[in-house]
Amino acid sequence: MMLALLLYPLRKRLAFMQGRAGLTEPSSLHPVVDPNICVGSGSCARACPEHAIGLIDGKAHLIAPAKCIGHGACAASCPLDAIKLVFGTEKRGVDIPQVSPEFETNVPGIYIAGELGGMGLVRKAAEQGRQAIESIARKRGDGGLDVVIVGAGPAGLSATLNAMHHKLRSITIEQEDDLGGTVYHYPRNKIVMTQPVQLALVGTVKMTEVMKEALLEFWHGIVTRHRVKIQFGERLEKVQRTDDGFHVHTSRGEYRSRNVLLAIGRRGTPRKLGVPGEQLPKVVYRLIDPEQYRGRQVLVVGGGDSAIEAAIALAGEPDTEVLLSYRGQAFGRIKEKNRERLAQAEAGGRLKVILKSTVETIEPEAVVLRTESGSERHANDAVIVSAGGVLPTPMLKEMGIQVETRHGEA
């Protein structure tokens, strides 16, 4: 026991120094501690379920940035308000649309909730969707729809339920063929981290770690039980301002609405590599079911959690050979659990990681990677590009919504 107590500060300091060395970067909303205010009470460390924050020399520090998922429990627990939550870092900026505390943008009547606004957590996205509808319900008027809700992920579904609760005239459109938003695109059996969430018409939903499939099944149950109407396969194309609201143009038609709630993800259009051969049918931009690649030679491209999780899932399939290509020299933005699982898979010979590499060419039966030592050709049956998405900034700017890049700002 005494040995464990002696080693604890050492482990904390090591994690802190790794974060200072740039080996890890917070991937979402995260805490910044003011050392001039912090008194070292430790309440923040005790409140953090991911153990991402701890005490060094009597002051709180973000000791494990990659573990932080931005729920803000540390800031809420601080007795002296020494912690503020920020987006981005000096090295990595994050584009965030400007919204008010009611989640209304600088364009009156257009709201943003969830991942597009920088909040990908299930609980917080759902809460933002609910609160946005509370604001809309307070200013309902005559004529047309009260709100068009775009997206059926956690924020969109929560908003839809609250719109039903307030008996608003609303419709919900979703460009995919199923609900779930970004969660829908997660690999099979991915563990989703969440916390208890309050949903209108449903009450408090208590979940912590749940598999993607179980979460989607739960949401489907809510949709069925409460007869929630969602227009699937309908894509937002344009939003035009009018004297009394907006004309919302979609792939199926046009709606007149006083308000619009954008509850869409940040994936936008998948970021492409722009290399010869990328148009081949074997190239895809997300992994849904690893089993379909069983016994094949697969290249995964990317350095974020989605790429790591895809590579690990594929490596678990029998007789599947997996290459993971990343242009960086280290995986600096991934969750600690994914880092550990990746190391285990690599040590077990189930996948090969090639850092400081980029795709040069994709051929029908091979891929060519550019590495420090030159070009390498690898036999290949499939390519999965997990390089994130291009934020739908042009669409937002066309609506008049202001977007700013934050480098460690609230």
Please indicate, yes or no, whether residues 383 and 397 belong to a single structural domain of this protein.
no
214 and 291 assigned to the same domain: no
Verify that 315 and 222 share a domain, yes or no: no
Residue 14 has a pLDDT of 39
For tokens 């489907």, the residue is 220
- Whether 138 and 177 share a structural domain: yes
Same domain, 223 and 340: no
Question: Do 127 and 259 share a structural domain?
Answer: yes
Give the per-residue pLDDT at 13.
Answer: 45
- Clarify whether residues 295 and 339 are in a common domain: yes
What is the residue type of 265? G
- Give CA–CA dist 80/78, Å, rounded: 6
CATH of residue 27: 3.30.70.20
Residues 177 and 77 occupy one common structural domain: no
Residue 80: CB atoms within 10 A of its CB come to 11
pLDDT digits (tens, 9 = 90+) for 376-405: 999 999 999 998 776 677 888 889 998 877
Same domain (yes/no): 245, 115: yes
Q: What CATH number is associated with residue 115?
A: 3.50.50.60
Q: Give the whole-angstrom CA distance, residue 110 versus residue 32.
A: 30
Structurally, the chain folds into a number of domains equal to 3
From first to last of the 410 residues of the chain, give the pLDDT tens digit.
444 434 444 444 434 444 333 344 555 678 899 999 999 999 999 988 767 888 999 999 988 776 675 667 788 889 999 998 887 666 666 667 888 889 999 999 999 998 887 665 778 888 999 999 999 999 888 878 999 999 998 899 999 999 999 999 999 999 888 776 666 666 666 666 567 788 999 998 887 667 778 888 888 999 999 999 999 989 999 999 999 899 999 999 999 999 999 998 765 567 889 999 999 999 998 887 899 999 999 999 999 888 999 999 999 999 999 999 999 988 876 777 888 999 999 999 989 999 999 999 999 999 999 999 999 999 999 999 998 776 677 888 889 998 877 665 55
Q: Are residues 245 and 287 in the same domain?
A: no
Q: Does residue 20 share a domain with residue 145? A: no
Domain that holds residue 305: 270-388
For position 179, what pLDDT does the model report? 79
pLDDT value at residue 268: 55
User: Based on the domain organization, do 220 and 253 belong to the same domain?
Assistant: yes
Exposure letters 293-318 (e unless 16+ CB within 10 A, then b): beebbbbbbbbbbbbbbbbbbbbbbe
| 273 CB-near residues (< 8 Å, 6+ apart) | 301, 359, 385, 387
- The predicted structure's pLDDT at residue 327: 93
